Structure 1
Amino acid sequence: MPEALAILQKYWQHTTFRSLQKEIIDSVLSGEDTFALMPTGGGKSICFQVPGMMNEGICLVISPLVALMKDQVANLQNRGIKAIALTGGIRSEEMIDLLDNCQFGNYKFLYVSPERLQSDWILERIKNLPINLITIDEAHCVSQWGHDFRPAYLKISALKTYFPKVPFLALTATATPRVKEDIITELGMHNPQQFEKSFARKNIAYMVFEVEDKLFRIQQILKKNPQPSIIYVRNRKACLDISAQLQTLGFKATYYHGGLTSREKDKNMQLWMEEKAQVIVATNAFGMGIDKPNVKTVIHIQLPENIENYYQEAGRAGRNGEKAYAVLLTSPTDIIQTENQFINVLPDKAFLNTMYVKLCNYFRIAYGEGINEEFSFNLHHFCLKYGFPTQKTFNAMRFLDGQGVLTLSQEFSEKITLQFLIPSKEVIRYTSLNPNDEEIILTILRTYPGVYEMQTSFNLPMIAKKSHHSEAEVLAVLHKLKDKEIIAYHSKNNDATLIFNEIREDERTINKVSKYLARQNELKKEQLQSVLNYVKKRNVCKSKLILDYFGEKATSNCGICSYCITLTKPKKDYNALSKKIMTLLQSEDLNSREIQEKTKNTSDDVIFVLQQLLEDDFLIIQKNNKYTLKA
């Protein structure tokens, strides 16, 4: 395949193709529908970009991720390749110009979201373009059993009618056997060539540790492995907290989450990429397009939502082929917290119906009206007005957005940011001199511990509710603090824009989509159960458990995961340690770290024996995480 290799060398400066890339490109060039399952970091984009460059015409790329589309278009343009993305926020006149450029300007790649294809006039324009290949990226979104189902993907198969001789290339990094079958069926692919790269990452040691003091274990891991690391957390507050705690312990740490400005994201990312920071603490907003080869350790300190996300995030370790670690730290309370985080906030049909009716009433939309009406929308005010839980409401709205009933123009973001400019002792001095402001200020400080270090997004309705004051009273205090130069305060109107895509029909509207809701809720429960199985099964190779989830059978243990290393360790006699612990607890209650220090044993051995004593009913664990002898 000399021509393909020449293009690879000319534009990407690679001298060889990675595993399966050549075979996939051959299949596409021969006009075959092609399905490719290539785990994170496998080089999926080359599989359509090289044949797209070889053939006359334009490669149409359908992707759900705006950030990824922009990133790939920028990369192609930097290589001197003409590419365009039709993303949100582009006016119709500009869209017409871009499509004119595609038709007459010798462009090679056109990126669109599946929702864009539902616009009749855009589809009409695309039908008249010289399309040479249709690539469906993140193809698992077409499956109701996939972890990120997008109903708009179901309509992609209509392109087969307009381009019967143009091959489809479906790409995904994570698909179970059921999802794979769905992708092929729902996209209407004709006897596709199928290529699947193994999910096995032989250089990654998957580790699961049950610990009480996660920060202490992180400290041990980072000292032992001082190379670049990622710590994944669940929310923005944890990003700031863990990063600050690590800095206090002497580690160079930074953070990354969706609430940062583009400038802050780039700055923090560069600190980590250039290894001026050893560790970056991040939410799942961090990851798209991250390809740092020498990441030694990826640590999750909370249970992930599903194995798909965990595999992708863990897979950012060890891309240079050297041994790396994917560590999941758990504690006894994690399961309850995770169920609260992911399962208890799932909206059912009754809640969805109530929320939708209240939403229509909120904007005074009459029955049978409302189509194409657009409103500025503040989620927090809406939830406060009707007493709805915020996360459950957001999940319900996101579901209706996915079904096309509503359109949310952006993710919800706070209207206010602030930062304290004076030291904490001066703030305390101010509150003692201004007792009327004290409750509001202390509520802010308790809620936003990072407010001294950086501009922090501020939830006005929540602070008002927590401090038992009105929003007007909170704002008055903020303005007073700003005037006295105690805080830097910025306010901007960046509510979400909400568009109603259908007329209001209340239960009829919800009944049309509720079957999808039930399936998605069931899927999320199944996926969480798979995560719990991964954590709880202590007598199975962790790599085997991951491969089994994706329908791949491992013939042997990996030899390096948290289970496998126990097989190679010499068997210990834990009786002496057990007796020593029981003796210590006769004098006082202790936590595991105190027991470890007093017995001079490893934390793994201490935790193992404590678990045995708990299971045998000799001990109980108190709310303060201290162990006591059972009476």
Structure 2
Amino acid sequence: MSEALQILQKYWKYDSFRVPQDAIIQSVLDGKDTFALLPTGGGKSICFQVPGMLLPGICLVVSPLVALMKDQVQNLQKRNIKAIALTGGIAADEVIDLLDNCQFGNYKFLYLSPERLQSEWVVERIKSLPISLIAIDEAHCISQWGHDFRPAYLKIAALKEYYPKVPFLALTASATKRVQEDICVQLGLNNPVLFKKSFARENIAYMVFETEDKLYRVQQILAKNPESSIIYVRNRKSCHELASQLTNLGFTTTFYHGGLPAKEKEQQMQRWLENKAQVMIATNAFGMGIDKPDVKTVIHTQLPDNLENYYQEAGRAGRDGAKAFAVILVAPSDIASSKNQFIEVLPDKAFLKLVYLKLNNYFQVAYGEGFNETFVFNLNRFCAQYQFPVLKTFNALQFLDRQGVVSLSANFSEKITIQFLLDSKEIIRYISLNRAHEDVIVSILRNYPGIYDMEVGINTSLIARKANVSEEKVHQILTVLRDKESISYKSQANDSQLTFNEAREDDRVINRLVTFLEKQNNLKIEQLDTVIAYVADKKQCKSGFLLEYFGETNVADCGICSVCMSKKEEYANPGRIAEEIVGLLQSGPLTSREIENRLQVTPDATIFALQLLLEHNSITINKQNQYILK
């Protein structure tokens, strides 16, 4: 291990390995198939990069995350280590050149997506390379029981036939026991050595707070903990809205989502990394490969879809070992509405078949034809033509993509990008002088709140529908606004590409997928139910709940989560606060914030006392989310 330590010190400038990195590296160097289950921030990449440097030839790294591949390749190159990534969107000629470089250029690392292994000619080229280690990152993607199953991962096992003596290293940050076992089977690992680090993060206080006013609660948390923070929101629109609201409240904010241009993503990221902005507001597109040690607080304003993703996102707090907080804010209506919204966008057999049928009709693909044909595709136009719900349709297309029926380019993007160059007062004045443009401009402003601050991709068919005009009329108004220099206006020819991977056979294609579709939908519902159980449980330690979910037993209470704190002194005698609340409510209905302010007690103590009163049927909640006496 002295050589491995020398490599670590020379290239990564660390003095020592974390437990169990050194043992994992030794297992790989001994030629053994190895499974490493290391929680977020556990240093997985070191486990294959160090032995990759020591072993002769090339380390092949299979990863589903383009951003993470690019990031790791750039970091290796900064250390003067030769690495290449075969990401999506690279033309075949360029792939050939890159593989030539690998073969003859003394490269140490070749990163590729699992989808690349579906191309036989790529596999043939890889077979000619001197591969000495095969690392499978995000290995849970191979399991149908995992939270992010990708059928392309099933192709990885074929590499065992070509490299029977080359060790496989499977790595993941989140996998239940069932998923762990499935990974070993699906990859064909030979008597794998298992390294499993506890999921316990003793410095993180997992909190669930019930609140009717999430913005007010976020404001309280950020004011109390002014260090670096991440707030996860559901969608891009929420990113801009919350950033604007918190900025107006005096916080320094930035935001990140999949729709931002690459340059702006980098700028926003750097502001936060350099602590020029306290708060990063992001969708779940943010976070992979980000290792900022001083994040104090991670807040989720909506329920996450599953505990695997939540654990990874929450685990971005407290990597420096200091006490940190992972908070979920829950409004009274969240559980019911989240479940309804979640189920509504899951495609069933009938909808999947309808989408597949219309997709073929949309591109005029005849029965028995279409194999390997590629088309320019715009999701919003397709949905508008057939009046399909966008998110449910996207989920259906994503399912077809993951089953290999079609291939979609990585991102859907809008064709029209605009930004208002005039301030809001000037826009109002313009509307007063141009009433014919009012409905379109107001629809844009309502649907894209960040449009004064940055260039935003807009869905012109949506605006046309909202304003009750033709899409052509929207384009005419945008052109007028551009000519008057009221907006910047760009037309981008960057629609998605869709490739049919098999010939059209409607019933045969869909019928073979039905069983798996139902299984996936049931799994997703089961995972959401577990999230709901996590936020609703007021008796079990939150850390203990998470640890048991990931298969750890006999875990002690953490002492610092919201449940554990509710059992401590502050709540030892909640009867007094409850009596005072009953006294206040005799004068009329009140919100929890109004009660908290009048009694001058903490939000946690207020919620705890209210919960006791609710459980004893002393009070109830009206339609205005106010508490009233029964």
TM-score normalised by L of structure 2: 0.97
Shift in CA distance, 594/160, structure 1 to aligned 2, threshold 3 Å: same
Aligned to 1:408: 408
Aligned to 2:267: 267
**2-structure distance, mates of 1:507, 1:357:** 10
Query: 2-side partners of 1:325 and 1:195: how far apart?
Result: 27
Query: Contact 2:82 / 2:108 at 8 angstroms: preserved in 1?
Result: yes
Task: Give a deviation string over 1:494-528, Cα, whole Å, max 9, x none.
Answer: 21111111000001011122222111111111110
Does residue 318 of structure 2 align to residue 321 of structure 1? no
Judge conservation of contact 1:203–1:324 (CA < 8 Å) in 2: yes
In 1, the alpha carbon distance for the partners of 2:370 and 2:291 equals 45
- 1:64: which partner in 2? 64
Alpha-carbon distance in 1 for matches of 2:375, 2:316: 40
* 1:234-291 CA-partner distances (Å, limit 9, x unpaired): 1111111111111111111111111111111111111111111111111111101211
- 1:428-443 equivalences under 5 Å are 428-443=428-443
Q: CA deviation at 1:573?
A: 4.1
CA distance in 1, matches of 2:89, 2:445: 36
How far residue 453 of structure 1 moved from its aligned partner, in angstroms, is 2.1
Summarize deviations over 1:577-612 as a string: whole Å, max 9, x none.
Answer: 434434433433322212222232322232233333
Q: Counterpart of 2:330? A: 330
| SS of corresponding position for 1:302 | coil
1:110 match: secondary structure: strand
Match of 1:518 in 2: 518
Alpha carbons 2:383, 2:393 under 8 Å: kept: yes
Deviation sequence 1:325-358 (CA, Å, 0-9, x none): 1111111111133224432201011110111001
Shift of residue 576, structure 1, vs aligned partner: 4.3
Q: Paired residue for 1:298?
A: 298
For residues 298 and 21 of structure 2, the distance between their equivalents in structure 1, rounded to whole angstroms, comes to 27
Name 1:220's counterpart in structure 2: 220
For 1:435 and 1:570, the matched residues in 2 are separated by 59
The separation in 2 between residues aligned to 1:623 and 1:46, in whole angstroms, is 54
Match for 2:390: what amino acid? T
Task: Select between 426-435 and 571-580 the one with higher mean Cα deviation.
Answer: 571-580
Contact 1:415 1:458 (8 Å CA) reproduced? yes
Does the C-alpha gap of structure 1 residues 462 and 255 become closer, same or farther in structure 2, counting only changes over 3 Å? same
How far residue 618 of structure 1 moved from its aligned partner, in angstroms, is 4.1
Tell me, in whole angstroms, the C-alpha distance in 2 between the residues paired with 1:567 and 1:103. Answer: 62
User: How many residue pairs were aligned?
Assistant: 630
- Which residue of structure 2 lines up, in the alignment, with residue 493 of structure 1? 493
Q: Is the 8 A contact 2:571 2:605 kept in 1?
A: no
Alignment of 1:611-630 (within 5 A): 611-630=611-630
SS at match of 2:562: coil
For residues 355-394 of structure 1, the aligned pairs below 5 Å read 355-394=355-394
Question: Contact between 2:142 and 2:154, CA under 8 Å: does it hold in 1?
Answer: yes
Q: Which amino acid aligns with 2:191?
A: N
Amino acid at match of 1:267: Q
Query: Which residue is equivalent to 2:427?
Result: 427
Structure-2 separation of matches of 1:582 and 1:53: 68
1:474 paired residue number: 474
Aligned counterpart, 1:596: 596
Letter aligned with residue 83 of structure 1 = A
Q: Residue 165 of structure 2 corresponds to which residue in structure 1?
A: 165
In 2, the alpha carbon distance for the partners of 1:339 and 1:159 equals 40
1:578-597 → structure 2 map (5 Å cutoff): 578-597=578-597
- Which residue is equivalent to 1:395? 395
CA distance in 2, matches of 1:157, 1:423: 57
Return the alpha-carbon distance in structure 2 between the equivalents of residues 316 and 573 of structure 1.
35
How many angstroms does 1:191 deviate by? 0.7
* Aligned mates of 1:560, 1:133 — CA distance in 2: 42
Mapped contact 1:227–1:296 kept (Cα < 8 A): yes
**Aligned counterpart, 2:503:** 503
2:186 is aligned to 186
Match of 2:130 in 1: 130
**Where does structure 1 lack aligned partners over 5 or more consecutive residues?**
none
Q: Please say which of residues 311-320 and 6-15 is displaced more in the overlay.
A: 6-15
Q: Is the 8 A contact 1:135 1:168 kept in 2?
A: yes
Alpha-carbon distance in structure 1 between the residues aligned to 2:442 and 2:92: 48
Cα deviation, 1:419-456, whole Å, max 9, x if unaligned, reads: 22222222222222222221222222222222222222
Q: CA 1:559–1:585 in 2, change beyond 3 Å: closer, same or farther? A: closer
Instruction: Supply the distance in 1 between the matched residues of 2:354 and 2:466 (Cα, whole angstroms).
Output: 26
Q: Secondary structure at the match of 1:376?
A: strand
Provide the residue aligned with 1:145 in structure 2. Answer: 145
Task: Tell me the residue number matched to 2:284.
Answer: 284
The alignment partner of 1:563 has SS state of helix
The answer to whether the 8 Å contact 2:570/2:605 transfers is no
Tell whether the 8 Å contact from 1:176 to 1:549 is kept in structure 2 after alignment.
Answer: yes
Give 2:36's aligned residue. 36
Shift of 1:617: 3.8
Separation of aligned partners in 1, 2:135 and 2:560: 37
The amino acid of 1:334's aligned partner reads: D
Distance of 1:557 and 1:435 partners within structure 2: 63
Question: Hey, what does 1:155 align to over in structure 2?
Answer: 155
Cα displacement string for residues 26-56 of structure 1 (whole angstroms, at most 9, x for unaligned residues): 1111111111101111111111111111111
The alpha carbon displacement at 1:472 in A equals 1.0
Residue deviations 1:375-432 (CA, integer Å, cap 9, x gap)? 1111111111111111000000001111110011131111112222222222222222
- Find the aligned partners of 2:588 and 2:568 in 1 and give their Cα distance: 35
Pairwise CA distance, 1:538: 0.6
- Contact 2:566 2:608 survives alignment (8 Å): no
Q: 1:35 aligns to what SS in structure 2?
A: strand
1:569 maps to a residue whose letter is E
Contact persistence 1:547–1:554 (CA under 8 A): no
Q: Distance in 2 between matches of 1:183 and 1:406?
A: 25
CA distance in 2, matches of 1:307, 1:105: 43
Alpha-carbon distance, 1:575 to partner: 4.2
Tell me the TM-score normalised to structure 1 length. Answer: 0.97
Name which of structure 1's ranges 301-310 and 477-486 shifts more when overlaid on structure 2: 477-486
In the TM superposition, residue 622 of structure 1 has moved relative to its aligned partner by 3.1
What is the deviation of 1:309?
0.6
Verify the 8 A CA contact 2:203 2:321 in the aligned structure 1.
yes
CA distance in 1, matches of 2:426, 2:340: 38
Task: Please state how far the C-alpha of 1:186 moved relative to its aligned partner.
Answer: 0.6
Which residue in 2 is equivalent to 1:110? 110
Which structure 2 segments of 5+ residues have no match? none
Paired with 1:245 and 1:610, the residues of 2 have a C-alpha distance of: 28
CA distance in 1, matches of 2:157, 2:292: 36
Please give the alpha-carbon distance, in whole angstroms, between the structure 1 residues aligned to 2:566 and 2:388. Answer: 48
Task: Quote the offset at 1:533 in angstroms.
Answer: 1.1
TM-superposed deviation, 1:565: 1.4
The aligned runs of 1:42-121 (5 Å cut-off) are 42-121=42-121
CA distance in 1, matches of 2:192, 2:572: 54
331-340 or 297-306, which deviates more:
331-340
CA contact (8 A) 1:343 1:524 kept: no
Q: How far 1:554 moved relative to its partner?
A: 4.1
Per-residue deviation, 1:572: 4.7
- Between 120-129 and 485-494, report the one with greater CA deviation: 485-494
Q: Distance in 2 between matches of 1:472 and 1:559?
A: 61
Q: Using a 3 Å threshold, how does the CA distance of structure 1 residues 554 and 485 change in structure 2: closer, same or farther?
A: farther
Of 505-514 and 423-432, the range deviating more from structure 2: 423-432
- Could you tell me which residue of structure 2 aligns to residue 345 of structure 1? 345
